[in-house]
Amino acid sequence: MNKIDSQHVKKVFGKNVKYYRFLKKLTQEQLAEKIDIDITSISDIECGARGVQFETIAKLCNTLEVKVCQLFDEEILDKNIPNDIRDFYMNQ
């Protein structure tokens, strides 16, 4: 079994949060407001620069309407997700 470091897990988690946020057509600010954290925290999570508490994971899953496992799915790493939600929908 390959060893997985925490930075890799944060990167996977963050990219998934961003992807599912885009699918819900939410800005970082809107998501932050819905789960009651500051926008800087959302940015840090999506960049993989910050770990997340279980309570926040639960709030993200409820708001994004995804299962916990979807936020840790490594297949999302292969998707090219733009930096801006408008660009995401222009390329769909």
Could you give the domains of the chain?
6-90 (1.10.260.40)
Determine the Cα–Cα distance for residues 86 and 39; give it in Å rounded to an integer. 18
43-62 average pLDDT score? 96
What pLDDT score does 37 carry?
96
pTM for this predicted structure: 0.87
Rounded to 5°, angle at Cα 31 from 68 and 66: 20
Residue 55, C-beta contacts closer than 8 angstroms, at least 6 positions apart? none
Average pLDDT (44-65) is 96
